[in-house]
Structure 1
Amino acid sequence: MSAQARGAQLPGLDLLRAIAVLWTMQFHGFIVGGLGPNWRWLERYGWMGVDLFFVLSGFLIGGQLLRPLAKGVAPSLRDFYLKRVFRILPAFWAVLAVYLLWPGFREAPGMEPWWKFALFFVNLDINYAANAAFSHAWSLCVEEHFYLLFPALALLLARKPSAIKFWVVCLVVLLGGIALRTGVWLHDDATQPQRPWFVEDIYYPTWNRLDGLLSGVMLAAWQAYRPAAWARAAQHANRFALAGIAVLALAMWLFRDRVGLLGNSIGWPVLSLALALLVFAGAQTHGILGSRKLPGVAWIATISYSLYLVHKPVYALVQAHWGALLEGRGVLAWAAYGAVSLLAAALLHYMVERPGLRLRGRFL
């Protein structure tokens, strides 16, 4: 069963996926000068929506491989990669083509060469000050690197399963990320390179952004290898949700200076822990997050990938045509930018993304 199908059966995960994309959209309101002072409190931490996507991906995609491995069955890597190819590439290539063929579609004038996007390399080598258009593809690069490397690591560890080996790998990734980010921050803060070094050296590179994916994979491993313990913990889904909210508040405090050392050293694993607690609660069919389906949430979750791809250029297009009319309109402006983004995302989903998924079915 695909990660998307599993998520569709769990209203809590649909809710978290919808929150992730809408929260990210709030953050990217800076493209149009922000959506008014009443929304600044929400925009400030909206970048955390991407980290929520990472935890969800680690959990759902990691589970595709870990569940059969836990039963002693070798997963089909062919099926795994075909699922990823047809899930990710059609909509991504369509949006990339529009960016390349229609410069007016871009939210910023400069853009990195097409091949950096096609090879999912742009997050490792970008001149952000000059080429910020379609820069939100950085998170897709992180996801693609995860899809490429995680199966090999999972198969290697599964040859002789060991809880000790698993925890050693987790600690190496966790502590290595803290050490690497700290070292880069201290070096760049001391030398002050004349470029957006926080974005280019810390925020975008894959090796600095593994905490969320790691947390999701740890959840998937728990569910696959210790199902009885998972089921016992599931009875306390509300406690996990409340703990997640409390730890999220701590993470926000650590990131009160988003580009500061405190957040960018230990803040990422704390944030990932908070989001993992919420994902665990959302993965249950009862409790605060998973007990009921909210109207419209499942649909937003379904088109969330397309919505993530198009919302930034749509913001720029709406501002170019109706920005003067919407300026200072508060909730009205928020609704207008959001509604046009949802329309564009729906078109992309139904015209490109969904046909790609149907084509995938022929190969699987």
Structure 2
Amino acid sequence: MTASVQPVSPSHTHRIVQLDGLRALAVLAVFAQHALKAPLWMGVDLFFVLSGFLITGILLERKARQQSYFSYFYARRIRRILPPYLLLMLVSSLVFGLGWARHWQWYALFATNIGDALGQSGHDSLNVLWSLAVEEQFYIVWPFVVLLLPQRALAIVAAALIVLVPLLRAVATPWFDTFWPIYYLTPFRMDLLSAGALLAVAVRRDRNALEPFRLPAVFALFAALVVLGWLHLHFPRFRAANTPLSNAGLYSISLVLCTSALVIALQSKGIVKRVLSHPALVYIGTISYTIYLVHLTVLYMLWPLELNRYVTAALALAITLAYATLTWFAFERRLVHGSSSRRAVARSIASRNDSAQSRT
């Protein structure tokens, strides 16, 4: 993937570097939530919106090319997701034992969100896998939706899900004793993925479609932050209340926050663009998947030492970054970029040969 700082249509041939910066902020928020007990659970929601945007963009491009739609998509997903996932399971087994094997089916089928909702999970350090399960389940269904529907109908479906999913959360609240199943299960989080998908369709149809929404997005982001901050200060147990209002409303506020952040990143200029495109943030965003997978394992290894919370957080961050860096350069980078780089070289050689033949 080649770097591009322009807010172009999502494509497998372009990389919007600001989104790597946004992904870095998301993973750092998740880390701060676990390491410092910061109320930043919205970091995972930002990952969902980003995934909806990027995956829908890739699928729309492959559909337009009318070539290797499913094989291209799923091969890339397998190369990106499976090796670090299997390595995490090995590390967890060596450090914390094989307790997860009692519920192996959830880990084998990428359905740990269902296992967590049922209280059937392994070591608590593996709890982070619930969001990966949500995305994997999204990957199973969404490519068929994108392939079968024209863009206008796809936008209507995405918009409908944004409206209907909060209502589903409210209706389903009495079914559960706690809010966790609402938080974990894919049908109740599809509004976030759909919001990203809707933005992808809009940008695909008109690369400047989000330009008029730049300032409204800034206002919406700060408004959502104010509301979330006020709820945290005055109703700290609101998220755990498991009421129709809390389950329907709280995650919708988070949706506004995360979708606004994505719009701002796509339309960023000046200092915002420079910050999100900073090499340090871009690098953290690039290796964010493995950071997300392993950071809780590292924290559970360090917590028994009973160090100062901030010392533990700093040490855990350093170890997590070192692990993610090692795996990225050891095998992840080659798996993600190797084949595309070889294809680019082959196309370049073929182009030069064609030019040479035309001159002769």
Q: TM-score range by the shorter chain?
A: 0.7 to 0.9
1:86 to 61, 79, 89: 79
- The Cα shift of 1:14 comes to 2.1
Q: Deviations over 1:31-63 (max 9, x none)?
A: xxxx4xxxx5xx12x211000001111111111
Do the aligned partners of 1:315 and 1:341 also contact (CA within 8 Å) in 2?
Answer: no
Higher helix share: 2
Structure 2 stretches of 5 or more lacking a match?
Answer: 3-9, 344-360
2:168 to 141, 159, 180: 180
1:1-364 superposed matches below 5 A: 1=1, 8-10=15-17, 12-29=18-35, 35=36, 40=37, 43-44=38-39, 46-67=40-61, 69=63, 73=66, 76-100=69-93, 102-104=94-96, 113-126=103-116, 127-128=118-119, 131=122, 132-158=124-150, 161=151, 163=152, 165-166=153-154, 168-188=156-176, 192=177, 197-199=178-180, 201-230=181-210, 232-233=211-212, 237=214, 239-253=216-230, 256=235, 257-260=238-241, 261=243, 262-292=245-275, 293-320=277-304, 323-324=305-306, 326-327=307-308, 330-358=309-337, 360-361=339-340
Structure 2 residue aligned with 1:32: none
Report which stretch shifted further, 258-267 or 78-87: 258-267
Question: SS where residue 267 of structure 2 aligns?
Answer: coil
Question: SS where residue 134 of structure 1 aligns?
Answer: helix
Q: Which amino acid aligns with 1:308?
A: Y
Q: Which amino acid aligns with 1:119?
A: L
- The Cα shift of 1:171 comes to 4.6
In the aligned structure 1, how far is the partner of 2:121 from the partner of 2:129? 16
Q: Deviations over 1:222-268 (max 9, x none)?
A: 101233433x43xx635523432322333454675112322311222
**Shift in alpha-carbon separation, 1:358–1:66, aligned structure 2, 3 A:** closer
Do the aligned partners of 1:240 and 1:278 also contact (CA within 8 Å) in 2?
Answer: yes
- The Cα shift of 1:146 comes to 1.2
Structure 1 stretches of 5 or more lacking a match?
Answer: 30-34
- The Cα shift of 1:317 comes to 1.3
- The Cα shift of 1:122 comes to 1.7
In the aligned structure 2, how far is the partner of 1:21 from the partner of 1:67? 27
In the aligned structure 1, how far is the partner of 2:97 from the partner of 2:271? 40
Report which stretch shifted further, 126-135 or 50-59: 126-135
In the aligned structure 1, how far is the partner of 2:230 from the partner of 2:131? 24
In the aligned structure 2, how far is the partner of 1:294 from the partner of 1:227? 23
Question: SS where residue 115 of structure 2 aligns?
Answer: coil
**Shift in alpha-carbon separation, 1:72–1:212, aligned structure 2, 3 A:** same
In the aligned structure 2, how far is the partner of 1:279 from the partner of 1:169? 20
**Structure 2 length normalisation: TM-score?**
0.80
RMSD of aligned alpha carbons: 3.0
- The Cα shift of 1:287 comes to 4.2
Question: SS where residue 113 of structure 1 aligns?
Answer: helix
In the aligned structure 2, how far is the partner of 1:28 from the partner of 1:212? 22
Question: SS where residue 76 of structure 2 aligns?
Answer: helix
Do the aligned partners of 1:237 and 1:287 also contact (CA within 8 Å) in 2?
Answer: no
- Residue identity (%): 30
Q: Which amino acid aligns with 2:71?
A: R
Q: Which amino acid aligns with 2:60?
A: L
In the aligned structure 2, how far is the partner of 1:178 from the partner of 1:116? 26
In the aligned structure 1, how far is the partner of 2:15 from the partner of 2:87? 25
Residue-pair matches, total: 327
Do the aligned partners of 2:23 and 2:288 also contact (CA within 8 Å) in 1?
Answer: yes
Q: Which amino acid aligns with 1:297?
A: L
**Shift in alpha-carbon separation, 1:229–1:357, aligned structure 2, 3 A:** closer
Do the aligned partners of 2:56 and 2:200 also contact (CA within 8 Å) in 1?
Answer: yes
**Shift in alpha-carbon separation, 1:128–1:348, aligned structure 2, 3 A:** farther
